[in-house]
Structure 1
Amino acid sequence: MKRPYKSAGIKSLPLAAALLAFGTLTAGCGANSATAPQSAPERQEAPSSKTDEKAEAAETTAADILKKEYYVGSMIKPEQVDLMNELFRAQNAGDAEAYEALLTADVPEADRGIPFKVEKADIYSVDAESDEGQPVRVEASVQEEKLGEYHPLIYTLEREGEQWRIGGIERSQGPMADETKFTGEQAEIVKLINASTRYRNEGDASAYQKLFAPNAQMGVLEDHPGKVAETLIANVRNPNESDTVIVNVRQRYEEAKKVTNPAYALRKEDGRWLIVDID
């Protein structure tokens, strides 16, 4: 940018030099419009704080909630991470049409609503037993906007042609896991875990201790901090193939924001499932 001339400087030049300088400046005006002097732009008002807030909100909405580089080499595929990020973007923008477009046609109506805006999200695990092209279950912990509580969620991802879509979103319904989703031995195990949650929340130490095997760890109610607010169980693996199973449970305690991941070790004794340990 050319430095503007000061009037004091022009006055100090001899008359001939001043005329020569003036002629040189004016000679180029018609030859090259790019070098022609421009009028000063009109002064614009500084953007308001509301404008700044909108721009910041738009930038946050467009950002990836899940950082793809964190999951390199994991069970979840890059295109599946992209799908979940698209879902979160639509969720944060309140764009019901874009949100709906990412779902399969058979997603239950209860899973179609946008429950809250997302601040952060972490993936716990991916169902590694699914064959290529079969639905994949992704366990995640999702935090509400403005540093709210985290919630355990399970996303079912399904392949439609060359694209992945959301085939279901399972959310916790409260302190008890959904027993109706399981059958047989799996249902018995989930009922046992729910009983331990119920007695813990009720403060019934005697009933709680009876759920544990003799000489088991963690059978004392005081070993557990606080009451449980949310419980979600994604899977109970192969209880018919062994008398001992480990079940990963997603829980959040009351007055706590984070989701914990206790592993329940259970053993079948005399036809009855009992808790051996909670890690």
Structure 2
Amino acid sequence: MKSIIIIIVFLMLLPDCNPTSYSRSKSSKPIETASTGTPMYLDEGQYAGDQLELIKLINLRMKYLWEVDETSYMKLFHKESPISGIPSFKIKSTTLRSEITIREHKNVYQAVVSVTELRYDNAEEENPTYVFQKDKTKGAEWCIRDID
């Protein structure tokens, strides 16, 4: 709850906000990989444009956690992200809990994506919220700003 309040306050403090919501036209069920014991990634075929880029980042995070590839994992994050290393858990599957919301600010685009994760060695569902950011400069790419 505290992290959601922080996100809301952060979004309210940024000037010149023009919220834009993108709705999902299809369900966001994960797709199962060929071998057992590997993550079930979100189906990238259901998305396009910025939404697809965000889904790819979520899937890459799952992949790098599975491979314990900290170097690649940290490249997914914004340089000013509070995330400082790779966690020890592995994600079994991820599903979206809400629509992907992208907002335009003065100098950046910001997206919020709430998911439900099932992790290996943990029977309980986790409900993290991703905050993504993309600068408005030419050639800028989406990155993960934080995960609460």
Alignment of 1:30-41 (within 5 A): none
> Could you tell me which of 82, 95, 100 is aligned with 1:237?
100
Larger radius of gyration between Structure 1 and Structure 2: 1
- Establish whether residue 172 from structure 1 lines up as the match of residue 30 from structure 2: yes
- Number of residue pairs aligned between Structure 1 and Structure 2: 112
Greater relative CO (CA pairs within 8 A, separation 6+): 2
Whether contact under 8 Å (1:246, 1:263) holds in the other structure is yes
Within the alignment, does 1:206 sit opposite 2:71 as a pair? Answer: yes
Give 1:228's aligned residue.
91
Letter in 1 for 2:60: A
Higher share of residues assigned helix: 1
CA distance in 2, matches of 1:173, 1:182: 14
* Equivalent residues of 1:249, 1:263 under 8 A apart: yes
Structure 1 distance, partners of 2:72, 2:130, is 18
User: For 2:103 and 2:48, how far apart are their aligned partners in 1?
Assistant: 12
After TM superposition, list the pairs within 5 Å mapping 1:176-187 onto structure 2.
176-187=41-52
Q: Take 2:28 and 2:90, find their aligned partners in 1: how far apart are those partners?
A: 22
CA distance in 1, matches of 2:27, 2:132: 28
Structure with greater proportional strand content: 2
Match of 2:112 among 220, 241, 246: 246
Report the residue type matching 1:256 in the other structure. Answer: N
CA 1:220 to 1:178, structure 2 compared with 1: closer, same or farther past 3 Å?
Answer: same
Structure 1 residue runs of 4 or more that deviate by more than 6 Å after TM superposition: none
- Deviation, 1:172, is 3.3
The answer on 1:275 being equivalent to 2:144 is yes
Structure 2: stretches of 5+ with no match in the other structure: 1-20, 33-38
1:240 Cα deviation from its structure 2 partner: 6.4
In 2, Cα distance between equivalents of 1:169 and 1:179: 11
Amino acid of the residue matched to residue 231 of structure 1? T
1:196 aligns with 2:54: no
1:239 counterpart SS class:
strand
Offset at residue 177 of structure 1 (A): 1.1
One-letter identity of the residue aligned with 1:216: S
Q: Which runs of 5+ in 1 are unaligned?
A: 1-128, 130-136, 138-167
Task: With the length of structure 1 as denominator, give the TM-score of the two structures.
Answer: 0.36
How far did residue 238 of structure 1 move?
3.9
Question: Percent same amino acid at aligned positions?
Answer: 29
**Is 2:124 the partner of 1:261?**
no
* Deviation at residue 278 of structure 1 after TM alignment: 0.6
SS of the residue corresponding to residue 42 of structure 2 reads coil
RMSD: 2.5
The answer to whether the 8 A contact 2:29-2:43 is kept is: no
Tell me, in whole angstroms, the C-alpha distance in 2 between the residues paired with 1:192 and 1:264.
10
The alpha-carbon deviation at position 171 of structure 1 amounts to 4.3
Whole-angstrom CA distance in 1 between matches of 2:130 and 2:27: 24
Superposition TM-score, scaled by structure 2 size: 0.66
